[in-house]
Amino acid sequence: MYHSWELKLCATHSHPMELQTFRSISFAGHGRFWKHSISGRKCFSKNIKTLVSCSYSTEENDTLPSVKQLCNAKVIYAVAPALGHNKESHPESSARVPAIVTALEKMELTSKFRGSDILELQNFKLASADDIASVHAKAYVLGLEKAMDRASEQGLIVIDGSGPTYATATVAASKNQLDPPMGFALIRPPGHHAIPNGPMGFCVFGNVAIAARHAQRIHGLKRVFIIDFDVHHGNGTNDAFLDDPDIFFLSTHQDGSYPGTGRIDEIGHGAGEGATLNLPLPGGSGDTAMRTVFDEVIVPCAQRFKPDIILVSAGYDGHVLDPLASLQFTTGTYYMLASNIKQLAKELCGGRCVFFLEGGYNLDSLSYSVADSFRAFLGEPSLAPGFDNPAILYEEPSTRVKQAIQRVKHIHSL
């Protein structure tokens, strides 16, 4: 089921076809041109609307959060659940983001309970196709426009060679704020499989890849460090920046999992050689493996690269309860990653960091893990012990994990 090759474009009552995406969170200027990330709708054609967005100043819209609200927030998030996009029994379902939102409410991790510490962005603005074309071929974008025209008439169409997804997201973060908030784009569908010339594996547009280019072009954040801890290799992001020395792509993923890319010896080429690091982990790898990877691989790579911003493809499908893979991360692993990445961003790039939701298909482990990530952002203790069940874990393949780590450290001179 995960390898199905369909693109579902759904008609809704409000608009014939709605595509969901989250876009850019940015704080540019010293309080004068503060901008932030919002989602919006753009007409690709007369009847087709897609949720995308561009950053713009608060001077343009009185309903946007004030500079004071942006400064006081510790976590800023936006929600784009793509409710109109759903296929019965498909793991990448419309229930994913609502499950997270429900968990955040239940666990009192919203502004209703936390006041100014947590800010949800609810205003939407148009984005141009040029933003998408900064990563994807214009021919592909135009072809998708035509496909959406057909979908507005037929309700559902199948596009050969694509996964059942139809969204994009872009984020750029604060350039001048001393202690900017963490950002989280709670979006679906995921985006890291979308290749420059087309869709793939649930993904139509590369959320993080477009975010990286936006950060560079619009906000002057030249050096972008991308961490992808989804259980599947982010081949689309990988391919977008193979020859770019200013964007470092680091992926940890399960060895042998979909889409079969991300070999340890894939390190980029040309000017970008060495700016791609792939670390396939053996099935059964768990908390101990990921903690070691973070300390021995992610940290030294980021320190050497010296990024201006860190973007994270946050896939929660490595959880032991997830049905699509066989790693055994716990909710505590994701708390550790969120907490440590936040600290890493604070040390290296003034705290500029945005997470993007990628995979995660068990609704319980997904929602609890995202909620615990929010707690990490807030500097609060993890509640993972109340959810995780150590009894279902088994011994990690520590020897094979150690060998993989040592090999990648040798390849990249860490």
CB 276 within 8 A of CB 305: no
Catalytic entry in 85, 136, 192, 193: 193
d(CA 414, CA 380): 32
Catalytic site residue 193?
yes
d(CA 93, CA 361): 8
Structure tokens at 262: 């991300």
Nearest CA to 35 out of 66, 53, 52, 56 is that of 56
Residue pointed to by tokens 């050497």: 304
Report the Cα–Cα distance between both ends of the chain, in Å, rounded: 39
- Angstrom CA distances, 202 to 18, 56, 81, 151, 338, stand at 16, 30, 14, 17, 24
Enclosing H/E stretch for 252: strand 247-254
Pairing verdict, β 48-52 and 40-45: antiparallel
* 68 CB-near residues (< 8 Å, 6+ apart): none
Nearest CA to 400 out of 292, 244, 300, 266 is that of 292
d(CA 293, CA 228): 13
Helix axes of 363-378 and 96-106: crossing angle, nearest 10 degrees = 50
CB 224 within 8 A of CB 240: no
- Angstrom CA distances, 284 to 134, 143, 296, stand at 37, 41, 19
Which residue numbers are catalytic?
Answer: 193
